[in-house]
Structure 1
Amino acid sequence: MSHTTLLLIAAAGVATLLLLILRAKVQPFVALVVVSIGVALAAGVPAADLVKTIEEGMGGTLGHIATIIALGAMIGRIIELSGGAASFAHSLIDRFGSKRTPLALTVAGFVLGIPVFFEVGLIILMPIAYGVARASRKPLLVYALPMGAAMLTVHAFLPPHPGAVAVTQAIGADQGLVLLLGIPLTAAVVLLGYLLSRRMTRREYPMDPAVHAEVYGEDPAPESTGGVAPMDDGHGTAVLTKPAPAATGLDPAAPSFGMVLALIVTPILLILAGTLGQNLLAEGSTLRAVLTVLGAPMVALLIDVALCAYLLGARRGWDRAHIANVMGSALPSVAMVILVAGAGGVFGKVLVASGIGDAIADVLDRTGLPALFLAFLMALTLRAAQGSTTVALITTAGILTPLLERADLSTGQLSLVALAMGAGGLAVSHINDAGYWMFTKLAGLDVASGLRTWTVLTTAMGTIGFALTAALWPLV
C-alpha cells in the first residue's frame, strides 16, 4: 500500500476519532478502540492478527502505567481525605502572609498538583480561595486563576499524571529525567503564569450572582464559603455537590505541613535517586542495584502509599478497613483514565503494525521541522480539537513514536520531547475541555470571561513551557 494511501487512512482515522468524541459524544476509550480497529483493517492488517495487535497495544501500555496511575491516585486520595491538602494550603497562607496569599495558593496548587488529580485539587482548594477572597474583599479570580493554572500545568507535564506517564513510556523517555528536568521547568512556568495572572486580574470580570453571593455573602461562617466535594456520577466523571460544613474548615488534628510535604516529595526523591544511580554509579555496584529498585516508579509510589497509610491513616486512628476503603475509593475515578491510556497504546500499536507510522515519519522528516516543535504543535492541535489533555498526549505519542525512533535521540532529548508534548497538552483549554467548565463554574465566570482569562493564560503558559523546553535542548 502506498504512503499516500496510508496517510489518507491515518487522516481519516484521526478525523473520525474527533467526530466520535466531539459530535457523537462517544466515550474516548470506546472511540479510540473503534478507530484503531477501523484503521487497522483499512490499512491491511490481517484479520487474524487484529486481536493480537490490540492485545499487545493494550497490554504493553497498561503493563507499565496502570500501577503507577493507580498508586498515585491512592496517595492523593489519602492526603485529601486525611485533611492534609487543606492543612498544607492553610499553612502556606500563614507562611506567605496576607499580602502574598495568591502566591501561597499558587504554590499550594503546584505542590498538591503532583499527587492529586486536577479536578480533585480544584475542589479541595477552591473553598480556601473563597474564604480568603471573602476576608480580603478582593476578586476571587485573583486567587483562583493562578492556583487552578498551576494544578493544570502539573497535570499536563509531570508523572504520575496519566498523560505524562503514558507519553514517557510510549516514546522511551526516562521518568526520572522527566521529573529532574520537568519539576524546575514546571515551577518556572507556574511562576511566570502567576505573574501573567496578576496583570490579567487587574480588571474585574462579570461574576455569576449565585457564586458572588456564596463568596461574599454576609454570613462569615465557614459553611457559607460554598465548598464542594467530588462524587462519581457513575461514568468516571467528577460532579460537584455540597460538602458537610466541616469540610471547609481546618481540622486542628489535620496532618502537619512538613509531613504532607515530605510524603509528596518522597517518591520524587526516590525516582531521582534511581536515575542518578544508574547514570553515575558503576554497573554491578550494590548501591546502584538498591537505588535502581527503590527508584523504580512503581516501587517508589508503593513505598509512599505505605507511608501515607501509616502516617496519615493508622497513626491518626484509622483502622485497616477504613484505610482499605479510602485507597479503594481512589480507583473508580482513575479506571476510565487508565483504559483511555491503554486504548491510546492500541492506536499507537496499530499505526506501527500497519506501516502508517513509517509513512507519517517520512512526511514529517521531509518537513525539516525539529521533533521538539512537532511534538508541541501536534499535542496543542489535538488538545484544541478534542479537549482532553490525556487523549491529546497519548495520540501524539502514538503518531510520533516512529519518527522519534528514526531520529536516534538520547534519553535526555526524549525526556524534553515528552515535556514539549506536555506544553502542548496544557495550552488552549477552552469550551470542549471539562476542566475549563469546572474552573469557570467554580469561579463564577461566563463563557466570554473564561476564554479571556483561563484559555489565554493556559495557552500562554503552554507556549512558555515549550520555549523553556527548547532552551534546554542544546544542554542535553
Structure 2
Amino acid sequence: MSPLMLVLIAVAGVALLLLGVIKFKMPAFIVLLLVSILVALAAGIPIQEVAGLVTEGMGGTLGSVAVLVGLGAMLGKVIEISGGAQVLSTRFTALFGPRRVIAALTTAAFLLAIPVFFDVGFIVLVPIIYGFAKALGVSPVKIGLPVGAIMLAIHVVVPPHPGVVGGAEILGADIGWATILGLAFCAPLGVLSYFAAKRINRREIPMLAETAEQFESFGAGSSDDGAVATKTKAPTSSMVISMILLPIVMIMLGTVGGSLVPAESTAANVLGFIGSPSIALLVTVLVSYYLLGVRSGWTSEQTGKVMDSALAPAAIVILVTGAGGVFGKVLTESGIGTVLAESLAEAGLPVIVMAFVLAAILRVSQGSATVAIITTTGLLATAVEAGGYSTVQTALILAAVGFGAFGLSHVNDSGFWIVTRFLGLSVADGLRTWTVLTTMLGVAGFALTAITYAIITAAGV
C-alpha cells in the first residue's frame, strides 16, 4: 500500500475517533476499539490477525498500566479518606501562600519525575492535586496540567527513563551529558509550563460529570467507605509525605543502586526487584494500609473497604488507557509511522532538525513517546555514527529526539487518557489543553536544544 494511502487511513481513523467521542458522545473505550479494528482492516492487516492484534495491544498496555493505576488509586483513596491530602494541602498552603502553591507543587513534580515514570508519578500525585485544588477553591486542571507537563518533559529527556536510556545506547550518547543537558533544558520548561498552563486555563473548563462528583466529595468520605465515622485521628503531614516518598525512594534505590553493582549479580537482581514500580507501589499501599488506616483508628475491614472503593473509578481509566494502547499498536503494525519517517529521512535536513521532526511524526502516528524515541534513534544511528559528532553534540541530538517525542500527545497516547480522565477533561478539552501544552513545551525544548547545538558547533566543542 502506498505511503499516501496509509497516511490518509491514519488521518481518517483519528477523525472518526474524535467524531464518535466528541460529536456523538460515545464511550471512548468502545470508539477506540472500533476505530482500531477499522484502521487495521483498511491498512491491509489480514482479518485473521486483527483480533489477536487487539488483544496484544490491550495486554501490552495493561500489563504495566493496570497494576500501577489500581495500586495508585488505592494509595490515593486512603490518603484522601484518612484526611492526609487535606492535611498536606493545608500545610503547604500555609507554608508557601495560596499564590505560590501551584508553583511549589510543580517544582516538587520536577524532582519526583526524575526517578519515577510519568504515569506512576502522576497517579501518586493525583490525591495531592485534588487536595490542593480543594484548599485553593480551583479546578484540579489548573494544578494538574503544569504538574503533568513537567513530569512528561523529564520522562522524555532525562535518564533513567527507558526511552532516553535506550536512545543513548543506540546513538552511543553519553548518559552523563544526557542527564546534565536534559535537566538544564527542563528547568526553564518547568517555569514555562507553569505560566503557559495558567494562560491556557484562563477560562473555566467544565469537568466530566463523574470526575466532578468525585472531586466534590473528595476528602468528605461517604457511607460506602464505612470508615470515616470511626476514624480517631488524621495523619500528620510528615506521614503523608513519607507515603509519597516511599515508592520514589524504592524506585531510585533500584535505579541508582543497580548501576553500582555488577549486572546480573544477586545484588542487581534484588535491587531491580525492590525498584520495580509495581513492587514499590505495592509495598507503599501495604504500609499505608497500616499507618494511615489501622493505626489511625480504622479496623482492617474498614481500611480494606476504603481501598476497594477506589477500584471502580480506576477501572474506567484502565480500560480507556488499554484501548488507547490498541489504537497505538494498530498504527505501529500498519507501518504508518515508519513509512513517514523513512520518507522524511531522505529529505536531507540537518541532523538536529531531522531528529526532532522524525520523533514528532512517530509520536503523533503511534502514540508512545518511548517507542518514538527508540525508533527515531534507530533510524538516525548510521548518520550520527558517520557524522563524527562530538560527545556533547550527540547528547544534544538525543535531546532533540526526546523533545520531538514530547508534544502532540493525543488520543492514541495512554498518557493522554490518564491525564484527561483523572483531571476530568473531555476529549475536546484535553486536545485544547493537554495536547496544546505538551506541543508548546516540546517546541520550546527543541528551540533551547537547537540554540545550544549551534553554539556548541560554532565553538567546536
Shared fold per TM-score greater than 0.5? yes
Question: Gapped runs of 5+ residues in structure 2?
Answer: 113-120, 156-160, 169-174, 222-230, 385-393, 411-418, 457-461
Q: 1:32 to 1:304 in 2, by over 3 A?
A: same
1:239 match: secondary structure = helix
Q: Which amino acid aligns with 1:279?
A: S
Provide the TM-score with structure 1 as the length reference. 0.64
Q: Match for 1:353 among 325, 329, 333?
A: 333
Alignment partner, residue 344 of structure 1: 324
Alignment partner, residue 76 of structure 1: 76
Two-structure CA RMSD over aligned residues (Å): 4.9
Separation (CA, whole Å) in 1 of partners of 2:141 and 2:55: 42
Q: 1:270 to 1:158 in 2, by over 3 A?
A: farther
Separation (CA, whole Å) in 2 of partners of 1:170 and 1:340: 26
Q: Match for 1:128 among 123, 135, 147?
A: 135
1:370 Cα shift?
3.5
1:28 Cα shift?
2.3
Are residue 262 (structure 1) and residue 259 (structure 2) matched?
no
* 1:313-352 paired onto structure 2 within 5 Å: 313-352=293-332
1:412 Cα shift?
11
Q: 1:151 to 1:306 in 2, by over 3 A?
A: same
Separation (CA, whole Å) in 1 of partners of 2:282 and 2:69: 11
1:273 Cα shift?
2.1
2:60 match: secondary structure = helix
Q: Which amino acid aligns with 1:3?
A: P
1:70 match: secondary structure = helix
Are residue 293 (structure 1) and residue 273 (structure 2) matched?
yes
* 1:223-238 paired onto structure 2 within 5 Å: 233=210, 237-238=211-212
* 1:39-438 paired onto structure 2 within 5 Å: 39-96=39-96, 98=97, 101-108=98-105, 111=108, 114=121, 116=123, 121-130=128-137, 147-153=143-149, 189-194=189-194, 233=210, 237-239=211-213, 243=217, 253-366=233-346, 368=349, 369-373=353-357, 375=359, 394=367, 403=376, 405-407=378-380, 421-422=405-406, 424-425=408-409
Question: Gapped runs of 5+ residues in structure 1?
Answer: 131-139, 160-166, 209-229, 383-391, 427-432, 440-446
1:315 Cα shift?
1.1
1:82 Cα shift?
1.4
Alignment partner, residue 388 of structure 2: none
Q: Which whole-Å deviations, capped at 9, do the CAs of 1:28-74 have from their partners, x for residues lacking one? A: 22222111111111122221111111111111221122111221222
Q: Which amino acid aligns with 1:33?
A: L
2:213 match: secondary structure = strand
Q: Which amino acid aligns with 1:62?
A: L
1:124 Cα shift?
2.5
Q: 1:272 to 1:366 in 2, by over 3 A?
A: farther
1:107 Cα shift?
2.0
CA contact (8 A) 1:376 1:466 kept: no
Q: 1:94 to 1:7 in 2, by over 3 A?
A: closer
1:293 Cα shift?
0.5
Q: Which amino acid aligns with 2:99?
A: P
1:346 Cα shift?
1.7
CA contact (8 A) 1:57 1:349 kept: yes
* 1:431-450 paired onto structure 2 within 5 Å: none
CA contact (8 A) 1:92 1:108 kept: no
CA contact (8 A) 1:75 1:305 kept: yes
How many percent identity over aligned positions? 33
Q: Which whole-Å deviations, capped at 9, do the CAs of 1:272-309 have from their partners, x for residues lacking one? A: 22222343321243322211111111111111111121
Separation (CA, whole Å) in 2 of partners of 1:265 and 1:245: 21
Q: Which whole-Å deviations, capped at 9, do the CAs of 1:405-462 have from their partners, x for residues lacking one? A: 5445999988985676455549xxxxxx9789969xxxxxxx9xxx9x9999887666
Q: 1:472 to 1:30 in 2, by over 3 A?
A: farther
Alignment length (residue pairs): 391
CA contact (8 A) 1:10 1:356 kept: yes
1:239 Cα shift?
3.1
Separation (CA, whole Å) in 1 of partners of 2:122 and 2:423: 22
CA contact (8 A) 1:13 1:39 kept: yes
CA contact (8 A) 2:21 2:31 kept: yes
Separation (CA, whole Å) in 2 of partners of 1:405 and 1:35: 29
Separation (CA, whole Å) in 2 of partners of 1:267 and 1:241: 25
Separation (CA, whole Å) in 2 of partners of 1:207 and 1:9: 35
Q: 1:116 to 1:35 in 2, by over 3 A?
A: closer
1:370 match: secondary structure = helix
Q: 1:434 to 1:277 in 2, by over 3 A?
A: closer
CA contact (8 A) 1:171 1:401 kept: no
1:8 Cα shift?
2.3
Please identify, of 294-303 and 283-292, the stretch whose mean Cα deviation from structure 2 is larger.
283-292
